[in-house]
Structure 1
Amino acid sequence: MSKTIQYYFAPHSPWAYLGHERLLKLATRYGAMIEPRPVDLGAVFSETGGLPLAKRPPARQAYRLQELQRWSAHTGLPLNLHPKFFPVDPVPAALLLVAAREEQGADQALALAGAVMRAVWAEEQDIADAATLARLADDTGFDGAALVAAAQGPAVRRKFEGFTKEALDAGVFGSPWYVVDGQGFWGQDRLDFVERLLQV
């Protein structure tokens, strides 16, 4: 029987970016279903003791940059350590992804999520900008302008808030976070453990 991966993430997370395509490949390899659940990482941090990047001690900030370099090299994914548009408000992109999931389902939403993450970390694009989001959606097979408009609706906002509450109820405190068979895994460096559960 195929398994389901609950995928909690924020669209501006470099770690989600580094793990996104590998997650999709794992799901394809093992016939698993992915449920993308974009969350408000700021709200998650405030509830679980996390700190936004600018408020972390210098040693932690420096180590983060080393790890990003290592994982970029390891995965072969291009990554700007200091993107032009970062920090960035992730909420418009998160709402867009929720709307995409509601409109065309998980697979199309996951494809758009990958494009949004690449836009931040490899392409120097502003994912808080409506025109940028519409173009990314167009390129992924959506009607971009219509999807951006739909993302502003109250039902999409409620769904986004619901995903964030679900994340907190599941013990999520970072992005990305994967849940398989009730077990939570924080970070793209835990995908090997996710794969072990998918093999069972």
Structure 2
Amino acid sequence: MAKIDYYFATLSPFTYLAGTRLEEIAAKHGAEISYKPLDIMTLFSRTGGTPPKDRHPNRQAYRAQDLVRQAKRAGLPFNIKPAFWPTNPAPSSYAVINAAQADGGDMGNLVHAITGACWAGERNIAEDDVIRDCLSKAGFDPDLAEANMLGAAETYARNLEEAIEKGAFGAPFYITDTDQRFWGQDRLGDLDAYLSGDL
């Protein structure tokens, strides 16, 4: 069985625009996904990236245009200037980490619900009621929003170190157990082709 380490940020618009395509690809190939949310701003600073607000105006303008195009291509509602971005990504990331260790829910739907709450729902994903709602919608116990905070925080920090060690530098980032690396939701087709043996 193929395994995919999925490094992502709950604040990332590109993680949102991935939708649940990773889960569809994994199901197609019988692959296992390990969900690993991380601190994207620290990842940028540690791997030579620049936060969006600090990028040259040309890059910011292109990013804005491209995000809107990618949302239309994916058929997803999208707000280029969400009311609650940036916000603290840790609480929602901790909830994802807790959910990954629990039973009964859908991880792909959880990640999509959280990112969608930010980029399409005008909701603050740092707030407990928003996180609890996303957990419930994905079939998880909403109390996971407040469970095991210390353990989740340790895993969150460990995910960052592991991502850097394995070669990640952005989000979403997909790394197979054969060390094939795919950066961005626009490379999911390549991941699919690789798992099919075509790349």
- Judge same fold: TM > 0.5, yes or no: yes
Runs of 4+ in 1 over 3 A off after TM superposition: none
Backbone CA RMSD of aligned residues: 1.5
Cα distance, 1:62 vs structure 2 = 0.5
* Structure 2: segments with no counterpart, 5+ residues: none
**Identity between Structure 1 and Structure 2 (%):** 37
Tell me if 1:166 matches 2:165.
no
- Distance of 1:104 and 1:79 partners within structure 2: 30
C-alpha distance in 1, partners of 2:148/2:123? 19
Q: Is the 8 A contact 1:7 1:36 kept in 2?
A: yes
TM-score for the superposition, normalised by structure 2 = 0.93
User: Any gaps of 5 or more consecutive residues in structure 1?
Assistant: none
Could you tell me how far apart the structure 1 residues matched to 2:59 and 2:162 are?
28
**1:179 aligned counterpart, secondary structure:** strand
**Residues 118-155 of structure 1: CA distance to partner in whole angstroms, max 9, x if unpaired?**
111111111011121112212222221x2121152x11
Aligned pairs for 1:1-200 (under 5 A) are 2-104=1-103, 108-144=106-142, 146-152=143-149, 154-180=150-176, 181-200=178-197
2:20–2:109 Cα contact (<8 Å) kept: no
CA contact (8 A) 1:36 1:110 kept: no
Deviation at residue 111 of structure 1 after TM alignment: 2.3
Query: When you count helix as a share of all residues, which structure comes out higher?
Result: 1
Q: Normalised by the size of structure 1, how large is the TM-score?
A: 0.92
What secondary structure is seen at the aligned counterpart in 1 of 2:4? strand
Distance 1:138 1:195 in 2: 30
Query: What amino acid is the match of 2:134?
Result: L
C-alpha displacement of 1:31: 1.8
**Structure 2: how far apart are the matches of 1:87 and 1:149?**
21
